[in-house]
Structure 1
Amino acid sequence: MASQTRPYLGTRFSSSTARSKFILGLIHSDIWELPDISLGGAKYMVTFIDDYSRRCWVYPIKRKSDVFEVFKAFKARVELDSGKKIKCLRTDNGREYTDGEFLAFCKQDGIERQFTVTYTPQQNGVAERMNRTLAERIRAMLRTAGLSNSFWAEAAKTACYVVNRSPSIAIELKTPMEMWTGKPADYSNLHSLGCPMYVMYNAQERIKLDLKSRRCIFLGYADGVKGYRLWDPTAHKVVISRDVIFVEDQLQKEEDNITLKENSETIDVHMENNQEQEDSVSSEAEPEHETQVTDESEAPEVRRSTRERRPPVWHSEYVTKSNVAYCLLTEDGEPLTFHEARNSSDASLWMTAMQEEIEALHKNKTWELVPLPHGRKAIGNRWVYKIKRDGNNQVERYHARLVVKGYAQKEGIDFNEIFSPVVRLTTVRVVLAMSAVFDLHLEQLDVKTAFLHGELEEEIYMLQPEGFVKEGKENLVCRLNSDHCTYYKRFGDGDFIILLLYVDDMLVVGSNKDRVQELKAQLAREFDMKDLGPETRF
């Protein structure tokens, strides 16, 4: 099906528009708000992505109204670097992008403006996906480094630096920097955010008997300066150093982290060498001075903190042992493993659900216990747990599925083709619309077993399910015996019936209720089904 297009100022564009063939042919931009104030006082971050190379630029800003000034600085920089002009800018309909001065500037410079339709963020999908990518990396970097959320701007710039040097499927596994410059990406300066490093004091800052170096934390890469951004936990300021010694075999430990508090004030720092500062709307806390290299042998011994050790709030969702965190349950209280189900407060309910699943599998003769042939390998399995809820979000039943670890199978040995019986959501919507227009009967069914029915051509061996190993037959394995998704039948009187299949959920639609019930009864005779009655939630 062709991609849908939507009108815009006499032109047409869609979320699946072909990638631009030219650098700066199309720029995607978006703004997102952060929950914490950064070191430089920023509350928002604006991103610009070149559609051709997928290179990204990030700018922390204090107010949304700063976007226009940032865009002008961004435009001047990239056009000078590339020797090309920006041809089109795609954004949402935020007032910061639709400001009259902004529009007039673009019109005067010949930049076409494209705005997404309201509540249609997929039309600016490149920017939306980039925001998600950056958010995930920012979160991971801060947690791994043990830094507070006020360092998000530093993490964002570092994440952008890494993304621009990482292969992307959208550009045939090349890197954005390679597409932008025509040269392979340089990885010589890659370092882990938050890793310790040692920096030498300036001669003006110490006397002969003072320590020559101090321990800092790596915060990323400086803009417009050939150096690294560092956090000095003693002086509580950001500095830039050209030559440093990294200690990347260890990250900051929780007890040694010295970070800003949640209610910390904005930090204003300056460079002592009178270097011209960048525009305030596009830069974070600037360094107070530039430092020099230190000798690793002269690095000071790290002082152990005597403060009370308290785990961060986010650790409350985990159990920690030997600095390793284990997630216990999902947000819905559903166990992830058999061990968790057996030891949870609802253990009896989960055990009943598993027993029902095992009985259904035995009833369908899904497998038979046999010795494992020589040279064959039995694949594993796992339990999947789900709390089923009704239309009012009330707990309806506890459900357990036994699934095979399919990733352990090998093509041509354990299988020849893969097919997942999933009806297209477009088809579901069409059938639901037909049901409303023609006042059809709409019934729902659920297959009780996850193993789909059908004869296998290959011989597949599976380990016995955890918790249900046959006593006295522990050395045997299971040899599995156990397949578009829209089926319809017309009748002579102009009547019809439709069946939609989504793995193990079914919708049956028809104008004749007796025929609908007859089909449901026939399915129940063939398979172990549960009749959910009139459809209310699919």
Structure 2
Amino acid sequence: MCNGKNHREAFPQESKWRAKEPLGLIHSNICGPMQTPSLGGTRYFITFIDDYSRMCWVYFLRNKSEALHVFKKFKVMVELKSGYHIKRLRTNRGGEFNSHEFVQFCEELGIERQLTIAYSPQQNGVAKRKNRTVMEMAKCMVHEKEMPYNLWCKAINTVVYLLNRSPTKALENSTPFERFSGRKPGIKHLKEFGSVCYPLVPGAVRHKLEATSAIGVFIGYGIYDKGYRILNPITQKVLLSRDVIFDEHGKWDWEKHKPESFDEAATDEAWRKAMENEISMIEKNQTWELVNRPFDKPVIGVKWVYKTKLNLDGSIQKNKAKLVAKGYAQKPGIDYNETFALVARLDTIRTLIALAVKNNWKLYQLNVKSAFLNGVLEEEVYIEQPYGFLVKAKEDKVYKLHKALYGLKHAPRAWYGDIDSYLVQCGFKKSTSEVTLYVKCKGNSELVIVSIYVDDIVYTGNSQELLQEFKSDMMQKYEMTDLGLLHHFLGMGVIHSDNCIFLHQRKYASTLLQKFGLQECKSVSIPLVPNDKLRKDDDSGAADEAQYQKLVGSLLYLTATKPDIMYATCLLSRFMHCPTNKHYGTAKRVLRYIQGTLHFGLEYKRGEETILIGFCDSDWSGSEDDMRSTSGYAFTFGNGVFSWTSVKQQCVALSTAEAEYISASEATAQATWLRFVLEDFGEMQAVATPLNCDNTSAIAITKNPIFHQKTKHINRRYHYIKEALQQGVIDLLHCPTKEQVANIFTKVLAREQFSYLRELLGVKSVHNLKGSVNV
């Protein structure tokens, strides 16, 4: 009878029960996600409010799953500070608060849980109202000073700091800080959020003629430090200072010195001069000529792009104006024929480094300034005259480009054509196996090898005369920067010691950990958990696809010097679409492994032999979704691998022998290519390349030319290995499974075996380098 009469009772305006001592009851709630990540990459914040004092603490999270970790930190801190213990915790029923780990943690410590009823946020009103107040105040502060949205967490921190020191009706006009700590808070130090300020530059880090202060923006107070938090708007770095001069009426212009249009830039003499310099450089480079407007060809527009380099005090160091073609209007087949980026394979770069180490050659580096502007165009391309620089009495004419401009789709291709023709003219021979590789020989023994990656050039050789001649010619032809010995290349650090060269990506790995909020995480000894299979559907819930793709993409780049995470990363890359929480958790475990191996990299020892040695291996039906196997191979000169892979096979193998046979065939193709490259380097492989395989059946199939009933279904492309064996390109040998280096690229291994094979790969700690080190 009450089906149509039931209704919701009113919620009481004030709670009938209040805690009688600090930490008797803690209110908590999470707010987010924010559309704009903070400077630290966080998207959520969680508040903890003490019911007795209404003191509030705020923490920032990348994901809601970090709630338990944050609560543990808060509990230790607040209990030590107050001398009391948390007795009750009131939250909603969100998964972050209701997980098995969270419930178990509270039960073990005797913390009483108070969970709200579904669709009844009013039962957690203290936390809900606090979050609303904090958000509204933070938004007002950000918009008042016209600050960028990625500073929202700094504003929220400041809001909580101020609310804790402001009287509240819930405490009869007392402040939360006073009720919690027993002493009145000081307020003389309070300043207006977002104000322009000038922190003192200590005398120890400046000379007598330097400015005594730098410009900054006030973004809050040091909670555990007695000082103000200042953001340098130029470098985006945060510093703490107690000696600060404030301009509370000032407002930092976040778009300072950057015009939005030509008309705006033309009113400033400095910008006008910057644009004139750009036009002068273009004409000096003989980039274009003024011609009549064609009737059968499209004319592309151009635009000005403005950039400013500032000093630390906010003053202008240099204005740069670039003229950019509107390449998005170009049509293939009409305005250009092909695009091409001059990018060397990482395998080629590592092979060159390994070869140089073996032969005791030194590696050098050059950088081409404005590389794309040197490219000579083969196609007819016409652009409009730049607005503001129309030639008098010839306003109806257009420019015909002889050389490329930034923004053209085929500018990289034009640059490649220019430098390719110049190197050939200088006597270099282009490799037929790697188009970015050039070799110049003098006599039978002297040579110089050059590898190009867009505008970065790495070169080495055994003749100082040829090396110096190459550098002089390049610096005479192009505007170059001589970077000396190779120390940094494509995000990789190169450390030279007496007996080896060490490659690492320590800086990139540290940035990656910080980006995903794991810079202080607990490390693990292996990247994957043995016997823990990954599949597409595991009922663990959907993860953030964009965040997962960013993480896996970053890990793929890290494999350039860390082959020990190659299998884990390639396994995770199979789930780039619709990843689950388990996939994301596994990816974060790989980051925890990286945390423990930050100082690890690839070591290449010096020596005389340059014999190519290969290893190949496979699992069998390792993929849970399609039962396909995973192939892996590695190549070395005896220490430190320089070429490796881990890839899922394209067909289902019906036996272990077939999977190993396919893996060996794929490794043979790579061995053939490496032999070609080494031949171009002047290192002819006189003997067959040893290819180590731990499966005797696969070796027997390879060496037996007779047709076999059990191999008739194998794709003909994989039988290439038999021909390579007969021609003496490779020699398939048996090696014990424990010594099979490629095993680390095909499956999850136990810790002892993983560490042993990692050592064989040449992945070692930088602290183990012997001899003097030059960084």
TM range (shorter): 0.3 to 0.5
TM-score (norm 1): 0.45
Which one has more relative contact order, counting CA pairs under 8 Å at least 6 apart? 1
TM-score (norm 2): 0.32
Which protein has the bigger helix share? 2
